[in-house]
Structure 1
Amino acid sequence: MKTKIKVLVVDDEPYSREELKHLLSIFDSIHIVGEADSGEDAIIQTIQLQPDIVFLDIEMPKMDGMQTAKSLMEFKNPPKIIFATAYPQFAVEAFRYEAIDYLLKPYDEEQISETVSRIIKYLKPIDLPKQSKLAGKLAIEDNGEIIYIEPKDIIYVYKEDKFSRIITVDNAYETKASLKELENRLSTYSFCRIHKSYFVNLRYINKLSPWFNGAFQLELKGSNEKLSVSRNYVKELRTKLEI
């Protein structure tokens, strides 16, 4: 890999930051572009430095690692996250944010070496950094388990109460991830927002029919439901369908 991987180290404890930076510095493929001592600072530095990877401590005052990760996922081109913590119980929640890895403190050289190898393997097939979110399946937490879904199998996604529901060709899933978060994570695939509470996979659109007040109705392959296309989203949908 010719392009070095840009890394931001985030931890409120100076010693932990220095230790991690030292362990990472021995790898030629890693370029540490900055460090932050809080979630708020991590967001600012991510905007300024555009890292490919953020090593993110979970237990931080005010804005903790999970809150920071959620904010980073709202970015147009979010960095990939590697969580770091002294406690293993956050692992399931961590993978809601498609974390590449989950490091337990105290760090050791073997652990860091395995993580760097995983990063390289993860990013190798793609051109850093612009396309770093094109990899693999959508990982969600469903009933305490991590489920991996092929984006091509998703028909549509919608918000209901406090949950997002993902409808696939052969199943339905419920997750606490927000609709906006899921839309961002699927932004490199053929999805389009049709309503404030819905977005659909363009591959499954079967029929688009005028309805009333400038709105449309959408019929999807593999689904018996007719979805409403809000007039605020009709233009974007027609553009993506090249109508």
Structure 2
Amino acid sequence: MNRMIKVVVVDDERYAREELTYLLEQHTGIDVVGEADSGESAIMKAIQLQPDVLFLDVEMPKLNGMEAAKALMELKKVPLIVFATAYPQFAAEAFRINAVDYLLKPYDEEQVKQTIIRIQDKLLPKENLETISRLGKLAIEMDGEIEYIPIRDIFYMYRDEKVTKVITAKQEYDLRTSLKELESKLTPLSFFRIHKGYIVNLLHVKKLTPWFNGAYQLELEGRSEKLSVSRNYVRDLRQQLEV
């Protein structure tokens, strides 16, 4: 992805701004272009910097996050809003303002990652992502040669001790690349983590079946095995799959 997503982080607590900025900057394609410590300065930063997204605290003196968000809706270029707060009771109001997401403090790396995926879904042209998914290839070195596997041909990947297994219709490949590194490259395409040790290609998902304790089992087209979907990933997986 060549397109950088411009972000402004708004929080009246400096350490909260620094923590969220750090987490966001771990992701390729995210550019934190500014910070603000109040609702008023958030509006000024939005006018000056023209960000794509504001991560907005709710509880701030004078103009709070909800009031600032409503004022931002009047701008010529309206940024996406992600509320980031320690107070879950504001969630319903946040989504009435059409917030992209609602992050709770203390921040969780996985939740931040899922928020970024939602932002990318809204801002990045899906035609480009589909083209990359169709034309892109994963390089796998075998016996001194490099074999290129079409992204579309990959069903899923999982970690097996120190090796990442890549499963296609015809073959199983071993990679030394970590699952986390692969995830950062492939998630913007058609891949999604369903479990601590598994990433699947959403293009091949056939069925989701409730299992137990909030978890699900996932079936892929052309595969007989059933993969476990941890309950922490179920909601976001369904959002990715469903129109």
Instruction: Normalising by structure 2, report the TM-score.
Output: 0.51
- Partner residue, 2:53: 53
After superposition, give the CA deviation of every residue in 1:2-30 in whole Å (9 maximum; x if it has no partner): 21000000000001000000001111110
Secondary structure class of the residue paired with 1:99: coil
Give the alignment of 1:169-184 within 5 angstroms: none
**RCO comparison, higher one (Cα < 8 Å, 6+):** 1
Number of aligned positions between the proteins: 127
After superposition, give the CA deviation of every residue in 1:151-196 in whole Å (9 maximum; x if it has no partner): xxxxxxxxxxxxxxxxxxxxxxxxxxxxxxxxxxxxxxxxxxxxxx
d(CA) in 2 for partners of 1:77, 1:17 = 23
User: 2:91 is matched by which residue type in structure 1?
Assistant: A
d(CA) in 2 for partners of 1:2, 1:101 = 24
- Partner residue, 2:4: 4
Structure 2 portions without partners, runs of 5+: 128-243
Secondary structure class of the residue paired with 1:31: strand
- Partner residue, 1:92: 92
Secondary structure class of the residue paired with 1:67: helix
Structure 1 portions without partners, runs of 5+: 128-243
- Partner residue, 2:101: 101
After superposition, give the CA deviation of every residue in 1:103-160 in whole Å (9 maximum; x if it has no partner): 0000011111111111111212279xxxxxxxxxxxxxxxxxxxxxxxxxxxxxxxxx
Instruction: Normalising by structure 1, report the TM-score.
Output: 0.51
Distance 1:4-1:53 versus aligned 2 partners, 3 A rule: same
d(CA) in 1 for partners of 2:32, 2:5 = 8
After superposition, give the CA deviation of every residue in 1:203-227 in whole Å (9 maximum; x if it has no partner): xxxxxxxxxxxxxxxxxxxxxxxxx
Structure 1 position 77, deviation (Å): 1.5
- Partner residue, 1:116: 116
CA-based RMSD of the aligned residues comes to: 1.3
User: 1:104 is matched by which residue type in structure 2?
Assistant: L
- Partner residue, 2:76: 76
d(CA) in 2 for partners of 1:126, 1:79 = 19
- Partner residue, 1:18: 18
Quick one: percent identity of the two aligned structures?
Answer: 63
d(CA) in 2 for partners of 1:107, 1:17 = 11
d(CA) in 2 for partners of 1:81, 1:100 = 6
Secondary structure class of the residue paired with 1:27: coil
Larger helix share, 1 or 2: 2
